[in-house]
């Protein structure tokens, strides 16, 4: 049956614990208190400026803002050049904008005279920036809102209609959205009615609290703003996150391998080896006990092995894709088989971990090596990057060369830069609501485990990151059968294994269409499942919560839209569907195994040391 309306974004609206309350009506301003708070605001501003300047004066931070601005101006300049090259096009562009303003002016005058009018421009239904009633009830704020919407919509249309090359247009669309998000009147005290009421009601106390948090977040970011998206004090890895019992049974300089302790008398004969992304940390699959995919799998009789990648420093700068394959994926396979006393196993890869898993399987096929992989599961995994979404905005020869030059200086890609790029993909969900909530309302964000994980970023070795960006995102060599690794050409068609693949409907990192298209490159037909929500919440969706939905249908052929038209909707989580599929491959069970299997002496308790290293 056709899909229902997509699930809402996975990120919560920032709020103060336990519930966000509307600010009280503004009464008379207490001038002495207000003046005192202004003085404190200036003092806290000085601390924020000092936190920003100190690392720069000490040479610890080198700004690349000028380069970023230059790229933005160059890109948008290409759009402007198209419209200014023809006087008729220039006139048309001006007329559309001015005509919209005149229509709004007329509508506002009618409303002031008491007439009912329809809005000239309205925000999308799910836009949380203009939820306060004053945005509609107060003619001034309504006109301000509509002026902003008219202007931003006009700018986006100018980019969309410009006849320029596809990559430049994609970048321009992205940059215009970022600028439009930044200049929204909801982001400023004097143009946001809720912020005005809050400031007047508290005599400016909210701004003092906000500036104090701003200084703390710049200090925490080492001179760059690290926006707090959650109350980090409420979480501790190994205490209330990543708590599934287990042991680290092996480690090398790139990874630790965890084997989780059994929680059932009997287990599936074949264990599961999970390859998580090395961008961020494995415990997104082992969050709180209620949300942990690992715990759920163990409770259902699966012996689970998990790779925990190291958070690399400059000493690992030269570690490339081949190293991650040999000393990471293949070594995990070898250790898991020995610890479980088996010759075969199931493999699962998440995001770029899935991409690495696919590359490893293609390399094994090229090398004519069989290491015992019985089935493969992919979670939000791309192998064809032609439709890789807005991340491609950051990928062209000039930008990659610039990034490589910077990585040569440090040996690594700093985690905060990758985190900022991901946050920018959804700025109206992951940046500006927190700017408003934290620094203008002065409210600490609500504790949320996924956003704590999201802020716990990792560094990336220069060699590995450069290989990935160039061969996958820039040149898309894996999809074209042109990728060489360890001297062998890789062909995805040689991977002929039972395959299960999950994409998520609202994924901004691995778009569902990109995942769907990539599955058609393999030599086996996959069971394709489309889950509701986004890249994280669509995957981390335990059945007990009864949230979201998923679709199943025929094999991934043709276009995603056509597949969806005939797909069947199922409420809730896809996890039980995956387990049923896995058991169909081999349902034989045997007595539960203890970590290490008598072959490897446990090194330490899960989740291990590597996952606790901060960037």
Rg (CA), the chain: 26
Q: Which residues contact 69 (CB under 8 A, 6 or more apart)?
A: none
Tokens of 603: 């090194």
Residues 6 or more apart whose CB falls under 8 angstroms from that of 236 comprise none
Helix axes 65-84, 87-112, angle to 10 degrees: 100
Dist. CA 320–CA 461, nearest whole Å = 7
Q: Tally Cβ neighbours within 10 Å of residue 529.
A: 21
DSSP states of 508-538: SSS-HHHHHHHHTTSSS-EEEEEESS-TTTT
| Interatomic CA distance for residues 530 and 550, integer angstroms | 5
| Selection from 241, 217, 223 nearest residue 434 by Cα | 217
**Three-class SS of 333-386:** HHHHHHHHCCCCEEEEEECHHHHHHHHHHHHHHHCCCCCCEEEEEEECCCCCCC
Beta bridge partners, 459, equal none
Provide the 8-state DSSP code for 201. Answer: H
Q: Is 472 part of the annotated catalytic residue set?
A: no
Instruction: Given the residues 207, 351, 359, 444, select the one marked as catalytic.
Output: 351
Q: Residue 272: left (phi > 0), alpha (psi -120 to 50), or beta?
A: beta
What are 203's two structure tokens?
């005599």
CB atoms within 10 A of CB 219: 17
Determine what percent of the chain falls in helix, strand and coil, rounding each to the nearest 5: 50, 10, 40
DSSP H or E segment with residue 143: helix 139-161
Q: Which residues contact 352 (CB under 8 A, 6 or more apart)?
A: 277, 278, 279, 468
Which token pair is 336? 């898991």
Contact 14, 433 (CB under 8 A): yes
Cα(601)–Cα(459) distance, integer angstroms: 29
What is the DSSP secondary structure assignment for residue 330, as one 8-state letter? I
Name, in order, each residue with C-beta under 8 angstroms of 12's C-beta and a sequence gap of 6 or more: 446, 448, 451
| CB contact burial 222-245 (16+ within 10 A = b; e otherwise) | ebbbbbbbbbeeebebeeebbbbe
The DSSP letter of residue 413 is: E
Catalytic residue numbers? 351
């Amino acid at each position: 049956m056709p899909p229902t309306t997509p699930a809402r974004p996975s990120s919560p609206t920032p709020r103060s614990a336990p519930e966000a309350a509307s600010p009280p009506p503004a009464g008379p301003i207490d001038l002495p208190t207000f003046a005192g708070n202004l003085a404190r605001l200036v003092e806290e501003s000085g601390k924020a400026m000092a936190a920003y300047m100190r690392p720069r004066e000490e040479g610890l931070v080198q700004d690349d803002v000028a380069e970023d601005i230059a790229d933005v101006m160059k890109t948008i300049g290409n759009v402007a050049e198209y419209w200014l090259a023809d006087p008729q096009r220039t006139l048309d562009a001006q007329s559309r904008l001015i005509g919209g303003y005149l229509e709004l002016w007329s509508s506002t005058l009618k409303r002031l005279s008491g007439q009912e009018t329809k809005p000239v421009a309205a925000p999308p239904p799910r836009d949380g920036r203009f939820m306060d009633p004053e945005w509609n009830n107060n003619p001034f704020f309504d006109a301000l809102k509509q002026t902003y919407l008219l202007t931003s919509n006009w700018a986006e249309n100018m980019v969309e209609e410009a006849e320029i090359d596809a990559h430049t247009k994609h970048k321009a669309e992205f940059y215009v959205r970022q600028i439009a998000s930044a200049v929204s009147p909801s982001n400023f005290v004097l143009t946001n009615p809720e912020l005005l009421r809050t400031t007047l009601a508290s005599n400016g106390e909210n701004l003092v609290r906000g500036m104090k948090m701003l200084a703390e977040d710049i200090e925490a970011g080492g001179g760059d703003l690290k926006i707090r998206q959650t109350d980090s004090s409420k979480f501790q890895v190994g205490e209330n996150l990543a708590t599934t019992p287990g042991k680290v049974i092996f480690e090398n300089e790139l990874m630790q391998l965890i084997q989780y302790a059994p929680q059932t008398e009997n287990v599936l004969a074949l264990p599961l080896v999970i390859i998580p992304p090395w961008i961020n940390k494995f415990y997104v699959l082992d969050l709180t006990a209620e949300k942990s995919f690992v715990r759920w799998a163990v409770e259902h009789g699966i012996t689970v092995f998990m790779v925990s990648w190291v958070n690399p420093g400059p000493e690992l700068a030269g570690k490339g894709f081949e190293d991650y394959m040999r000393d990471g994926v293949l070594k995990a396979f070898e250790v898991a088989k020995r610890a479980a006393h088996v010759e075969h196993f199931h493999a699962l890869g998440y995001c770029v971990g899935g991409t690495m898993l696919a590359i490893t399987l293609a390399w094994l096929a090229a090398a004519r090596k069989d290491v015992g992989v019985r089935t493969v599961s992919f979670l939000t995994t791309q192998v064809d990057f032609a439709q890789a979404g807005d991340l491609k905005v950051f990928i062209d020869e000039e930008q990659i060369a610039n990034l490589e030059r910077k990585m040569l200086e440090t040996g690594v890609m700093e985690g905060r830069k990758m985190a900022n790029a991901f946050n920018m993909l959804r700025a109206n969900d992951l940046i500006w609501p927190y700017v408003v909530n934290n620094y203008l309302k002065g409210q600490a964000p609500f504790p949320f485990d996924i956003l704590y994980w999201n802020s716990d970023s990792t560094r990336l070795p220069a060699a590995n990151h450069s290989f990935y960006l160039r061969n996958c995102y820039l040149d898309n060599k894996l999809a074209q059968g042109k990728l060489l690794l360890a001297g062998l050409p890789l062909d995805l068609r040689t991977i002929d294994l039972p395959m299960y693949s999950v994409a998520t409907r609202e994924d901004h990192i691995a778009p569902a269409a990109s995942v769907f298209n990539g599955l058609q490159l393999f030599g086996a037909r996959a069971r394709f499942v489309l889950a509701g929500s986004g890249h994280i919440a669509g995957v981390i969706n335990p059945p007990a919560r009864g949230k979201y939905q998923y679709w199943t249908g025929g094999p991934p052929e043709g276009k995603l839209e056509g597949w969806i038209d005939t797909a069947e909707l199922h409420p809730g989580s896809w996890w039980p569907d995956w387990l049923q599929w896995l058991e169909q491959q081999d349902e034989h069970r045997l007595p539960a195994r203890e970590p290490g299997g008598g072959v490897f002496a446990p090194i330490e308790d899960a989740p291990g040391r590597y996952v606790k290293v901060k960037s």
